[in-house]
Structure 1
Amino acid sequence: METHREKSSPRTRLLIGGLAAAALAAGTFGAVSATASASTPQQAQTAAGASAPQRTQTAPEAADRNTHQTRHLTVDAATRAAQAALKAARQDGRRVTVAVVDRDGNTIAVLRGDGAGPQSYESAERKAYTAVSWNAPTSALVERLETTPTLKDIPGTLFLGGGVPVAVGGTPVAGIGVAGAPSGALDEEYARAGAAALGLR
């Protein structure tokens, strides 16, 4: 018995093709929707945050909040102060050493005058360090030893006249120490001459 197959008409083929395209489109849409719904909470939160950006702190603002600034005497200024102190001592015929330290007690400049004793080098540095540490002349600090004798045990200090602080607006920026004159009073006089040469207040 012969089976008779009917040929599909162009209209039928068009209808079947349209249904297949619709099914394919529906499947693609479902895959896209499934992918979107499967996103992580973190991705969703990131997407939501993108519409409402939060203000972040800038580097200058962070620096202002986490640091502070201090003033330090320049090398040129320290040298000028040391030269002025040494000149004042020479005019009196004194052989001294002058040391200038910064706010942190680090030595910036030292001038050892002709004929100054070997001990004067370290003494001048220690006087300068002591003056800037307490923001006071070392001659005034000597009086504190009467009530607090252990002060002299602090490393690097020397409680003898001859050291003066250099301050700007009341805040110390350096210390000048002089050693080698016959008395601490003279050493301090020369140190003050060095500080005066800077013209700071």
Structure 2
Amino acid sequence: MKKSNKIAAAAVAAGALLLTGGLTAAANAGTSQAAAPAAVPAVDIPQAPETVVAQNRITAGASADAVRAALAKCQADKLPFVTVALVDRFGTVQALLRGDNAAEHTIEAAQQKAYTAAAFGAPTSELAKRVNGNGPSIADLPGTLFLPGGIPLKVNGVSVAGIGVGGAPDGNLDEACATAGAEAIAAAAAGSGK
């Protein structure tokens, strides 16, 4: 294309943009703005056992240390292809660490094992033994995975989180790594005098 044709094409494009912008501005000028909804005042609810539930959570630092410890155990066991997840009792991920050679499916497996352990307050290896028969079972609950590799984390006997590992060729290997992660949190708490 010649230089004069390029300049002409650019001028046409710029004119089209100006025309479109002008038409949009004219159209908007004819519309009335709706009144903003009145703000709803905030209600300050006092903290009381009748109205507010206290919740324990694993800190971000402890969660990060736990997934690192679990992955380190797997790497020491020559299992670099796993993912470790730590979730709260609702299944929300607090920390996740994917090994260098971990496939994508290991992410979901680790999260689901962690959530299953947290939700049921038991290691997934124990829960897997409860799943039997041909009909519907707890194994059909969305977001759960009843395979070994998930460990619940408890505070005063109440499940508050779970750590799960996915990707090893045997779920018991996953569970050994998850246990190492859980033990790292317990050791850190014991070392701080709590």
Does TM, normalized by the shorter one, top 0.5?
yes
- Match of 2:97? 111
* Structure 2 portions without partners, runs of 5+: 1-44
- Partner of 2:107, secondary structure, is helix
* Pairs within 5 Å for 1:134-145: 134-145=120-131
Letter in structure 2 aligned against 1:119: H
The residue type paired with residue 91 of structure 1 is: A
Preserved CA contact (<8 Å) 1:71 1:103: no
2:77 to 85, 92, 97: 92
Name the TM-score, length of structure 2 as normaliser: 0.69
Matches within 5 A, 1:1-201: 60=46, 63-94=48-79, 95-146=81-132, 149-199=136-186
What is the rounded CA distance, in whole Å, between the counterparts of 1:165 and 1:127 in structure 2? 10
Deviations, residues 66-87 of structure 1 (Å, cap 9, x unaligned)? 1120101111111110000000
Cα deviation code 1:6-61 (max 9, x no counterpart): xxxxxxxxxxxxxxxxxxxxxxxxxxxxxxxxxxxxxxxxxxxxxxxxxxxxx64x
Residues 126-184 of structure 1: CA distance to partner in whole angstroms, max 9, x if unpaired? 00010000000000001111268511110000000000001111111210000111100
Task: Please give the TM-score of this superposition, normalised by the length of structure 1.
Answer: 0.67
Question: In structure 2, how many angstroms separate the alpha carbons of the residues matched to 1:135 and 1:126?
Answer: 14
> What is the root-mean-square deviation in Å for CA atoms of aligned residues?
1.9
Amino acid of the structure 2 residue aligned with 1:133: A
**Greater Cα radius of gyration, structure 1 or 2:** 1
SS in 2 for 1:98: strand
| Matched residue type, 1:198 | I
Instruction: Tell me the matched-pair count.
Output: 143
> What is the percentage of aligned positions where both structures have the same residue?
47
Q: Which runs of 5+ in 1 are unaligned?
A: 1-58
Counterpart CA distance in 1 for 2:109 and 2:144 is 9
Q: Would the aligned equivalents of 1:125 and 1:177 in 2 still touch at CA under 8 Å?
A: yes
